[in-house]
Amino acid sequence: MKILYFHGGDSIKLMKKIFIMIIITELLSFSSFAMKFPVKIDLDDFSEFMNYYSKGVTYNGHLNVQGSRLLNKYGEILQLKGMSSHGILWYPEYTNYRSLMTTKDYGANVFRIAMYTSERDGYIGKKEESKDALYMALENALGTDMYVIIDWHILRDSDPNTYVDEAVDFFAELSSRYPNNPAIIYEICNEPNGEISWEDVKKYANTVIPEIRKNSPNALILVGSPKYSTDIRAVAKSPLEYDNIIYSYHFYTGLGSDYKSTIDFAINNRIPIFVSEWGMKKDEDSGEFDFDEASGFLDYLEKKDISWINWSLSNKKEDYSVIKHTEEKLSHWSVDQLTENGKFVFEYMAK
């Protein structure tokens, strides 16, 4: 298996894991030791040990919001970073276990599963197919010991209240199947938009969140805001009255968004932010990506300990994809198999 590492630090981490495995293997094969102390290795226990060592969900446990930061069960600051799927029924092939492990090898510690609602091939039109694909992706992600965001991906439906009954049923079922699972993060409304106000979103959230809390009282819940999850100032005027809530902020390069003033405002007003979707769009005039803007954005998030998810892990023929649209490989991509956008994102994740 050939895995590309852009930075030495990640290679060192991998070598440490390999070194531990070699030491254990050699120790157990040492004849005099083995004769005196016969040992049986439980592969599940060994896997759990390695997950703990790599500081995934096994190590970090339930995440808690304090101020503007995410903390693990030890009170340590944790920044999540990773990829989002495209629509779960559009590009399900990139949610296979080896695909997700490839993102982890590049430095990801979270994966977002985007399940569209009213779009083509969305939950409302294809309920059972959507759930089947989502649960398969979820099981694959849980197997990697990464955190998993379940994204109720509203977009063209604009108002989350349009399908609030379906959302309640879905999140009630999901949380009952995986009660209080520390790996699962609930994103209850991707991008409210159009004429939707924060009060509309609050009404929806106040209906859905209690259903999740019945089965997963400690779950981290992501809540979107109006104007495609950019109107954080409206949230600050009247935040939700629940613990362990964090608010989504979405960002795309090339659109002239003043992310610093928005996020600084949120932090100063104790509104926790999670960038649950960001992407890179080519400049319409030059036809080039603005890597300086993207680097500045991610450096800023790093400084503020704000988590981020990049859109998207697919080979769709669009600017935002990290895999070339001509590429059919489903995991372990080389540099040449990534788009220019993908090379940048994977390199940054590997820091």
Catalytic residue list: 191, 277
pTM: 0.88
**pLDDT confidence bin for 163, thresholds 50/70/90:** very high
> What count of other Cβ atoms lies within 10 Å of the Cβ of residue 347?
17
Question: DSSP 3-state assignment of 142?
Answer: helix
Share of the chain above pLDDT 70, in %: 85
**pLDDT confidence bin for 294, thresholds 50/70/90:** very high
- Does residue 225 have a cis peptide bond before it, meaning omega lies within 30 degrees of 0? no
Question: DSSP 3-state assignment of 89?
Answer: coil
Contact 110, 147 (CB under 8 A): yes
- For 256-267, how does the pLDDT look when each residue is reduced to its tens digit (9 = 90+)? 889 999 999 999
**pLDDT confidence bin for 77, thresholds 50/70/90:** very high
For the cut 70, the answer to whether the pLDDT of residue 17 exceeds it is: no
How confident is the model at residue 1, as a pLDDT? Answer: 41
211 CB burial (10 A radius; 0-12, 13-18, 19+): buried
Specify the long-range contacts of residues 260-269, CB closer than 8 Å, at least 24 apart.
260/300, 262/230, 262/232, 262/233, 263/232, 263/300, 263/304, 263/306, 265/232, 265/233, 265/236, 266/68, 266/232, 266/235, 266/236, 267/68, 267/304, 269/236
For the cut 70, the answer to whether the pLDDT of residue 11 exceeds it is: no
How confident is the model at residue 9, as a pLDDT? Answer: 40
- For 88-99, how does the pLDDT look when each residue is reduced to its tens digit (9 = 90+)? 999 999 999 999
How confident is the model at residue 75, as a pLDDT? Answer: 97
For the cut 90, the answer to whether the pLDDT of residue 153 exceeds it is: yes
Question: DSSP 3-state assignment of 217?
Answer: coil
Top mean-pLDDT range of 44-48, 246-250, 282-286 = 246-250
Instruction: Report the pLDDT averaged over residues 162-178.
Output: 98
Question: DSSP 3-state assignment of 140?
Answer: helix
For the cut 50, the answer to whether the pLDDT of residue 5 exceeds it is: no
Closest CA to 111 of 263, 230, 277: 277
Instruction: Report the pLDDT averaged over residues 325-348.
Output: 97
Instruction: Report the pLDDT averaged over residues 136-141.
Output: 98
Specify the long-range contacts of residues 254-259, CB closer than 8 Å, at least 24 apart.
254/280, 254/281, 254/282, 254/283, 254/284, 254/290, 254/293, 255/281, 257/230, 259/297, 259/300
How confident is the model at residue 256, as a pLDDT? Answer: 86
- Phi, psi for 33 (deg, rounded to 5): -65, -45
What is the residue-averaged pLDDT of the chain?
A: 90
DSSP annotation of 317: S
For the cut 70, the answer to whether the pLDDT of residue 35 exceeds it is: no
Choosing among 3.40.50.720, 3.20.20.80, 3.40.50.1970, 3.30.2390.10, the CATH entry for 42-349 is 3.20.20.80
What are the sequence ranges of the domains in the chain?
42-349
**pLDDT confidence bin for 52, thresholds 50/70/90:** low
How confident is the model at residue 306, as a pLDDT? Answer: 98
Closest CA to 91 of 108, 110, 115, 109: 115
53/337 Cα distance (integer angstroms): 30
Cα-Cα-Cα-Cα torsion 87, 89, 93, 99, nearest 10 degrees, comes to 40
b (16+ CB within 10 A) / e for 158-178: bbbbbbbeebbebbbebbeeb
- Quick one: tokens of 120? 């083509």
Instruction: Report the pLDDT averaged over residues 27-35.
Output: 46
Instruction: Report the pLDDT averaged over residues 272-301.
Output: 95
b (16+ CB within 10 A) / e for 250-269: bbbbbeebebeebbeebbee
Instruction: Report the pLDDT averaged over residues 257-281.
Output: 96
